[in-house]
Structure 1
Amino acid sequence: MSPLVPYEGELEPDGDYDGQEFGGLDLADQEGPGSRFMDCALRECGLDRTDLGRARFIDCVLDGIRGVGTDLGGASLRDVEVVDARLGGVQLHGAVFERVLVRGGKIDYLNLRKAKLKDVVFEGCVLAEPDFGGAELERVEFRDCVLKDADLSGVRMKDVDLRTVAELGIARGVDRLAGAVISTAQLLDLAPAFAAQIGVRVEDAPGG
């Protein structure tokens, strides 16, 4: 692989970036909808309110990116690594993930509504109140992650592995876990939610 060329300047709508490195740049409030990133690296970049809607990332590394309100709605990520991201309120509704690794970092209020994830691994990251509403997950694995108050409303799952999730909290959509595999311990933790879903009231017997 050829050395990446350092990028300078601002993002442009429908920009075409090939083999470039975005290192330590503040891209806050910039407009790059519809852009294509091929064999690129974004390292330690600020993405506050950056518009990257419908952007395509192919064979890219996103390392140490940070930002609040980043718009990646409808984006496509293929063969991408996202490492140690610190994001809040990132919009990825309708996005397509294929062969993506998300490792480390913390993402708050991740919006993946109606997104499609295939061959994706979340590893050692914290996802606080992620919204998977209406999303499709196929061959997705969560390894040593923390999932806090996840919204699984309307999710469709196939071969989703949750067994090594360090903390599994489901705010809505516990009935959508068909197609997922969980551990015995997780089943016990989720038992009250499952019972409530089917209308079973759990109480100790008198004198018990």
Structure 2
Amino acid sequence: MTPLSIDAVAGGEELEDVLVQGGDLSGRKLRSLMARSAVFQGVSFAETEIASARLRDVRFVNCDLSNANWWGVEATRVEFIDCRLMGMAAVECHWQDVLLERCEARYIRLSDGRTSTCEFRNSNLSEADLRSAHLEGALFDKVLLKKADLSHARLQGTDLCGAEIDGITVFAEDVRGALVNPAQAMDLARLLGVVIK
């Protein structure tokens, strides 16, 4: 991979086979972020606004994307490892084979997004906005989803067994087909107004 300066990222050029280490783009408005076979390590994208992001085979390591607004992100085979995603908005995203591992993603907004075979591991998604998100087949393993809003989300085949779901907002039709453990089933039963004797 070719080392690349943060200025090239800010310039909006298409990035391929590059390594971007360090740098601060905090608060900047970027027309686009197009990257393929790239690694971003220790880069701050906090409070950035990106009108168009297309990512394929990209890894973000120790990056800060807190309160970033990335509209309609298309991500395929993308990893966020040890990243801060607090308050990030990726509304109407299209994610395929995306991994969040050891991320602080409290308040993340993926509403109206579409995901396919995505994994969320060892991460905090408490109070996340996942309304109307298509999460079919997603895996949540050792994930905090406390007080997350999953109303009208599609959860068919979604594995929630490894998630803490205390206080989530969800409707009966939303959880149809979701995979849950027995304790979660009892919590959901109470949430949905079912009385267990």
Please report the TM-score for the alignment, with normalisation by the length of structure 1.
0.86
Letter in structure 2 aligned against 1:172: T
1:5 aligns with 2:3: yes
The offset of 1:13, in angstroms, is 6.3
Letter in structure 2 aligned against 1:155: A
CA contact (8 A) 1:40 1:61 kept: yes
Give the secondary structure class of the aligned counterpart of 2:188: helix
Comparing both structures, which one devotes a greater share of its residues to strand?
1
Which residue of structure 2 aligns with residue 78 of structure 1? 76
Which residue of structure 1 aligns with residue 113 of structure 2? 115
CA contact (8 A) 1:10 1:27 kept: no
Tell me, which stretches of 5 or more residues in structure 1 are unaligned? none
Give the secondary structure class of the aligned counterpart of 1:188: helix
Give the secondary structure class of the aligned counterpart of 1:181: coil
1:172 aligns with 2:173: no
The offset of 1:63, in angstroms, is 0.7
The offset of 1:86, in angstroms, is 1.2
Count residues with an aligned counterpart: 196
CA contact (8 A) 1:11 1:32 kept: no
Q: Write the distance in 2 (CA, Å) between the matches of 1:184 and 1:33.
A: 47
Q: Of residues 50, 53, 60 in structure 1, which corresponds to 2:51?
A: 53
Q: Deviations over 1:125-160 (max 9, x none)?
A: 111211111111121000111111110111122210
Which residue of structure 1 aligns with residue 140 of structure 2? 142
The offset of 1:10, in angstroms, is 5.3
| Structure 1 segments of 4+ aligned residues over 3 angstroms from their partners | 10-14
Letter in structure 2 aligned against 1:120: C
Q: Write the distance in 1 (CA, Å) between the matches of 2:40 and 2:47.
A: 16
Q: Deviations over 1:166-207 (max 9, x none)?
A: x21243224211121101111123332021xxxx6x699xxx
Q: Write the distance in 2 (CA, Å) between the matches of 1:156 and 1:170.
A: 18
Q: Of residues 94, 98, 102 in structure 1, which corresponds to 2:100?
A: 102
The change in CA–CA distance for 1:13 and 1:192 in structure 2 (over 3 A counts) is farther
Q: Write the distance in 2 (CA, Å) between the matches of 1:121 and 1:142.
A: 6
CA contact (8 A) 1:152 1:170 kept: no
The offset of 1:161, in angstroms, is 0.5
Which residue of structure 2 aligns with residue 193 of structure 1? 191
Give the secondary structure class of the aligned counterpart of 2:186: helix
Please report the TM-score for the alignment, with normalisation by the length of structure 2.
0.91
CA contact (8 A) 1:11 1:30 kept: no
Q: Of residues 142, 156, 159 in structure 2, which corresponds to 1:158?
A: 156
Give the secondary structure class of the aligned counterpart of 1:47: coil
Give the secondary structure class of the aligned counterpart of 1:40: strand
Name which of structure 1's ranges 10-19 and 123-132 shifts more when overlaid on structure 2: 10-19
RMSD across aligned positions (CA): 2.0
1:35 aligns with 2:33: yes
Q: Write the distance in 2 (CA, Å) between the matches of 1:130 and 1:54.
A: 22
